[in-house]
Amino acid sequence: MDQRERFRAIHRDTFADLLRFVERRIPAAEAEDVVSTVFLTAWRRLADIPDDARPWLFAVARRTMANQTRGWLRRQALDIRVGDATPLPDTAGDTVARIDLERAWRSLSPGDREVLALIAFDGLSSDQAATVLGCLRSTFAMRLTRARRRLRAALEPDTGFLITEEKQSWTTA
């Protein structure tokens, strides 16, 4: 397969996933520019792209977004919008669960959200996600385990307050 055909195949196979990946992290109006820059980089470095191009492209997209966000507030630019995911049916129970999930999600650090999103939203394997983040698979696995634990804890918060029957007042636990 010649270079043009390989590039076309990579573009065809990864464009939609890459665009969704970027749109969850930056304003939609900026996403297509980032994806264009990623594919320009891919064309220039076609020989460097491994057979599994998706993690490589996601990593390039992350670096491209980081370069663009130097002028923006870092937290705002790297925040992943849970609300952009496929919406749940609007029933009372699901609405409460969604509000709880969104509140728990926003309580996580940007790093925890990124690790969880690579697996849950982008469908990457642990090996691929480690490539995107530029770390060892074991490091990624540890970060994922900790992020899941913190999300679980945020979904089941311990208020830290007790009501004592004797004093009928709030005291910290």
Domain 1-79: give its CATH architecture: Orthogonal Bundle (1.10)
Q: According to the model, what pLDDT value does residue 9 have?
A: 96
* Numbered ranges of CATH 1.10.10.10 in the chain: 84-158
Encoded amino acid at 8, one letter: R
Express each pLDDT in 1-39 by its tens digit: 799 999 999 999 999 999 999 999 888 888 999 999 999
Question: What's the average model confidence in pLDDT over 148-172?
Answer: 63
Q: According to the model, what pLDDT value does residue 90 have?
A: 54
* Numbered ranges of CATH 1.10.1740.10 in the chain: 1-79
Per the CB < 8 A criterion, the answer to whether 173 and 157 are in contact is: no
Q: According to the model, what pLDDT value does residue 169 have?
A: 45
Buried/exposed code over 101-124 (b: 16+ C-beta within 10 A; e: otherwise):
beebbeebeeebbbbbbbbebbeb
Question: What gap in Å lies between CA 70 and CA 51, rounded to an integer?
Answer: 31
pTM over 0.85: no
Question: What's the average model confidence in pLDDT over 151-167?
Answer: 62
What confidence category does residue 160 fall into, taking pLDDT thresholds of 50, 70 and 90?
Answer: very low
CATH code: domain 84-158 is 1.10.10.10
Express each pLDDT in 58-111 by its tens digit: 999 999 988 877 655 444 434 544 545 555 555 556 666 677 778 888 889 989
